[in-house]
Structure 1
Amino acid sequence: MSFLNNTKIAVIGGGSWATALIKILCEQNHIQIRWWLRNQKDIDHIRKFNHNPSYLSDVVLSPRKVKVFEKTVDAVKGADYVILAVPAAFVRESLQHLSPKHLQGKRIVSAIKGMLPDLNLLITDWISRDFGIPIEDTCVIAGPCHAEEVALEKQSYLSIASTECPAAEDFAALMTCRYVAANPLDDLYGVEYAAIMKNIIALACGITHGLGYGDNFQAVLVSNAMQEIGGFVTSLDPRERNMSSSAYLGDLLVTSYSQFSRNRLFGNMIGRGYSVKAAQLEMKMIAEGFYATKSIHEMNKIHHVNMPITNSVYRVLYEEHAPAVVMEDLKKLLK
């Protein structure tokens, strides 16, 4: 099944990542984009001025290629692909007016780097379970890539993963343009879990930075994190995978070190003395790692993987231990 010509793509979400993905898709010929946003003021503004006033406002979108919708049912109608680009905590609310028949025969692409927080469930598994979409018709988009650099047209890389390569290859072709290279993989679960866990590590990096730790410690932290992610992913989906490739290590590095990383920023605020609630109120965007920390921590009660970094972040965010004390304990466990 290939939709490379005259492809209709619905995008669910109005944030920076959704806007960046639409910008990339606008580089393609023979594509129609059907965009659903929650905010009516943003919808009206986009229709009039062809840019998102709330996120990446310098990105000009083609009115010929992009149509904006108030209802998700209208946005997904006739679409070949549906891209989900809302925070994981809000995905069920965003799709509440859709039934399995609305998504039947479509490929679903998750650009969400988080899990359903109360179910500890991957987005692709939830879509398959609740909407009856065959898992082979789902894909995930991972990095290493930040929306802000896409907006600036800096050379970027995406990883498109599915259980079977043809689905990933088709969508990777749609996401490739002069400043983005999209690479297909057949490791849906490995890429999806790694994309979730790297946000937890970015929180840890932010916390240590806020506490005054330097580059030397952060390098050790990230090196140990790669082992932690690899161990957890392997326990859930044992198979041979190269964890040093860009889909895993690259995505971890950019999220841990970049000035654009919202998870690193959130962690930095916690390290500097903000409470969790105060940091959440200060940030305009959702830090997926906050919810992911609890989900992964709860899942690991079953799998028993050695994950000192995730445990440390959990202690800070959910047990309200002092960040300085927790990181002192973590120092003794890193090598």
Structure 2
Amino acid sequence: MTLALVAAVLPAPQGRTLTVGPGGQYATPQAAANAAQPGDTVEIAQGTYGNGLTVKRDGITFRGNGNVTIKPTLTINAGNLTFENLTFQGSDRFGVYADGRNNLAFRNLRINGSQDGGLVLLNTSNVLIDGCEITGTNARGTKADHEAMSIGHGSRDVEVRHCNVHDNGEEGIDVKYTENARVKIHDNIVSNNRGPNIYVDSATHVEIYNNISSGTKNETKSGIALAVEDYAEHRVLDNVKVYNNISHGNAQSGLSIWVQSSGTVSNVQIINNTFYGNKKGSITFDGDEYAGTNILRNNIFERATSHEAFRSDHNLVGPPDARAIDAGSADLAPAFDIDDRPRPQGNGYDIGAHER
């Protein structure tokens, strides 16, 4: 199922409306969840609710009215579910967790303060994550299980957009250990995490575009990282496209590519990105097991950047300035820029994330 169909498979509110809170039908979100049937909507009044929320029945919408905080965890044991305008806070494990589920939508969720990962999806497909904020997760540091947002172990057809993932103790957004993942990460702000901010590890068919990545904290962590770690059974990173991103002010490089001990990186396209102010330059390469056609094109680099495994052309070294205008290549250039303006605007394609 394609990402375009995600919204179509999610339930439209057509059943009963169950109310939670003062004057409502139920005192807690969990009590309403236990009573809800497919097609129902659970409306939760402003306030803070304890004892978490576990959903075991398909086809329900959970919606917060005002500032709604549920402590500590959302556990998803069903599918065809929508969660809107809710905060999950203070878990000693994960903020939100789903394993083996399908057809989920998360809109305007806030997840904070979990000891382990924030939003964790395993073996879960057809997911929309839209307008969410994740902060203060991985509080136990490098011993934490999973990341601020983990799309892992067989999760496919996931779209992450318009999210703010910041100030977490490990990676920000992590796609890992999945062949043919078909994941799109776009129009997010990912900042001030230990890092990397955006990470693809041993996954294939992933697009990363129109994001701003900045301020990783650890000196070994880049703004965007593509890798093959030893933990993965399938040690291949393939068909990953990185375009229209700005990666700046990170403790390591703007983007890194590395293989831990063995594995293959192939068919990577890095096109029309802007890198600046990163302590170790624009891109670092670690590992020599490359295959397929790899491309560096239309990027703005803070210093000269190349690798023998990559075709490199139409890149600009130095600050973004008039030299970038109409100086890019049309070959494989995206049809829009980081602000969703059509490319080209002038006589040719510009270099970097912006089309001026």
Q: TM-score, structure 2 length as denominator?
A: 0.27
Quick check: which has more Rg, 1 or 2? 2
Q: TM-score, structure 1 length as denominator?
A: 0.29
Determine which structure has the larger helix proportion and give its number.
1
Point out which structure has higher relative CO (alpha carbons under 8 A, 6+ apart): 1
Determine which structure has the larger strand proportion and give its number.
2
